Amino acid sequence: MKFRTILLFGAPGSGKGTQGKVLGELPGFFHCSCGEVFRSLKMGSPLGKVFVEYSSKGQLVPDEPTIELWRQYIDSMQQVGRFDPVQDTLLLDGIPRNLAQARLMSETLDVGALIYLSCPDRERLVQRLQRRALKENRLDDANLEVIRRRLENYETESRPVLDFYGEALLRRVEAVQTPLEVLRDVVGILLSL
Ligand code: ADP
């Protein structure tokens, strides 16, 4: 059985996590942030070390271990009853993040929409990420060069995912609004599905 899924998509700093966290509190939705799953690993564990190695350089973790970790996380959430694929819509944030991941997940996901938090203003994203570095202890937000590399990698590796899912599933939301306004737009989309 495939998971009923909404993809939250957008550049680093576009606000996927902020929206996902709020919506994930609603009954009937389960929010999964791939970055958070990585950050919850013990940093001394083999995959934790791989995560630190790649993310501190602004790079994506290789696809196979990423998908495997995601799958294990979802299975464990099912086992403890936090995620019920029959009742719940999966809100995915930060995965799939490139074409290879989208292909690897195509057997597992039944994607109903891709909500694209669009922010063409890169400097705005840089500012948001720098502000986040002060509030959260994030290695990958701490350094301007790493931030710029992540934004470049987003353009080359992640943006093609938009085309993979195609116009029919795409719902654009203006990311440069207050979080509440973005939430209003996202809720409008979810209600229309
Ligand atoms: P951001 O969207 O701001 O980059 P995330 O919390 O989504 O923040 O991700 C942090 C880091 O975790 C990424 O830079 C990357 O190294 C790693 N990561 C997260 N999701 C994936 C993924 N699907 N594939 C590979 N690496 C990932």
pLDDT tens figures, 149-176: 999 999 999 999 999 999 999 999 999 9
- In this structure, which residue's CA is closest to atom 5 in ligand 1? 35
Per-residue model confidence (pLDDT) at position 142: 79
Nearest atom, ligand 1, residue 70 CA: 23
User: Letter for the amino acid at 96?
Assistant: P
Read off the pTM: 0.95
The Cα diameter of the chain in Å comes to 44
pLDDT confidence of residue 181: 98
Any idea of the CA torsion for 145, 149, 151, 156, to the nearest 10 degrees?
160
Instruction: Check whether 137 has a pLDDT greater than 80.
Output: no
Handedness of CA 139, 158, 50, 58 (dihedral sign): negative
Residue 127's pLDDT band (cuts 50, 70, 90): very high
Confidence of residue 134 (pLDDT cuts 50, 70, 90): confident
Express each pLDDT in 30-67 by its tens digit: 999 999 999 999 999 999 999 999 999 999 999 999 99
Report the CATH superfamily, name and number, of domain 3-192.
P-loop containing nucleotide triphosphate hydrolases (3.40.50.300)
Residues in contact with 65: Cβ distance below 8 Å, sequence separation at least 6, in sequence order:
47, 50
Mean pLDDT of 94-98: 98
For residue 97, give the nearest of 174, 165, 145, 20 by alpha carbon: 165
Q: Where are the domains of the chain?
A: 3-192
Alpha-carbon dihedral of residues 59, 76, 137, 156, nearest 10 degrees? 20
pLDDT at 96: 98
Mean of the per-residue pLDDT values of the chain: 96
Q: Which residues line ligand 1 (CB under 6 A)?
A: 12-13, 34-35, 38, 54-55, 59-61, 66, 94-95, 97, 101, 140, 150
pLDDT at residue 8, rounded to an integer: 98
Residue 140 pLDDT greater than 90, yes or no: no
End-to-end CA distance of the chain: 20
pLDDT number for residue 32: 98
Is the pLDDT confidence value at 136 over 90?
Answer: no
- pLDDT at residue 71 greater than cutoff 80: yes
CB 187 within 8 A of CB 28: no
Give the ligand 1 atom nearest the CA of 129.
3
Nearest CA to ligand 1 atom 6: 35
105's CB contacts (< 8 A; 6+ apart) are 67, 95, 96
Task: Look at residue 133 and tell me whether its pLDDT is greater than 90.
Answer: no
